[in-house]
Structure formats: structure tokens, C-alpha cells
Amino acid sequence: MSSAFIKEGESGQLKDVAPNFGALLFFLRMENGGTIVRELKNYYSEKHGRDVYEMSDGLTYALNDEGRWAIILD
């Protein structure tokens, strides 16, 4: 069966998204019903010790120590 026929709710989880920014953008767009989610700001966070990405969906994302995307809570 083709992966094009995935039912809603079976799209995966954030932790399963490939560790690149394009994959994150695609995942967020699919999670938001096709609405484009834009990067508002990216910077290196001394507090978290990594690059973080503030997005137009109101959340901030970063790759964790295992190279998986995670939401950053301040």
C-alpha cells in the first residue's frame, strides 16, 4: 500500500521527523491542516546549548541530544 493513503492522525510524531529544517517545515504544515508554518527567528540558545527555531505556530523547536526534533519550553 502506498504511503500516500495515510489516514488522518497517522502522520507520525515530531520525534520521528528527519533532523533537517525542511522536514520540520513539512511536518508542521501537515499537522496544521496544510497551513504554512514560517520560521520567525532562529538563534543559538546559551540556555539550551543548541540552535532553536521560533515558528509562526507559536512554538519553539530544536534538535535534542539524540538528533530528534523537540518542542522547547521556557
pLDDT at 74: 78
pLDDT digits (tens, 9 = 90+) for 27-71: 999 999 999 999 999 999 999 999 999 999 999 999 999 999 999
pLDDT of residue 3: 43
Between 2 and 51, where is the model more confident? 51
pTM: 0.81
CB-based contacts of 19-26 (< 8 A; 24+ apart in sequence): 19/63, 19/67, 19/68, 19/69, 21/53, 24/53, 24/61, 24/69
List, for residues 7-29, the tens digit of each pLDDT value. Answer: 445 558 999 999 999 999 999 99
Where are the domains positioned within the chain? Answer: 39-74
